[in-house]
Amino acid sequence: MRNITVGVILIVIISVIIVLCLKQSSKSQKVEFINQKTGIKYVAIEDSYTIGLGVVQEDRWPNILTDHLKKERVNIQLVANPAVSGYTVEDAIEIELTEVKKIKPDLVTVLIGANDNFGQKDAETYRQDLRELLDRL
């Protein structure tokens, strides 16, 4: 469980760093790879923590993140949140990556692993699955 918790914390830290880099670059210059008309296309690859089962859409954390970035004048659109309660990293690889390939987003956040832990998947399998997910992204 400790390894999964560390993995989730690292993912959150990486996501925050990406957001801070985008915020900094938006102040100094426009990011070159972004279509200025549509802005940053953002997809959240995740599980129940992201889809927020029972939570209204505007209170889900990817929506809150997007709203905060827009307030900082970052042109970003949450174009998909294919997260599903109960998804494991393996589900994200098999199902959610299909959406990513179709959309071709500029930014993807990853917050997944709680269900791997609940399913008692061993830490090494989780680590390998997460590595595969990140490599394929």
Where helices occur in the chain by DSSP H, the ranges are 2-28, 48-51, 61-71, 89-91, 97-103, 114-118, 123-136
List the domain boundaries for the chain.
2-136
**2-136: CATH topology:** Rossmann fold (3.40.50)
Q: Are 44 and 107 in contact (CB under 8 A)?
A: no
φ, ψ at 80 (rounded to 5°): -160, 145
Token pair for 68: 């905060």
pLDDT digits (tens, 9 = 90+) for 57-106: 888 888 888 999 999 999 999 888 777 777 887 888 888 888 888 889 99
Residue 16 has pLDDT above 70, yes or no: no
Q: How many residues are there in the chain?
A: 137
Kindly report the pTM of this predicted structure. 0.67
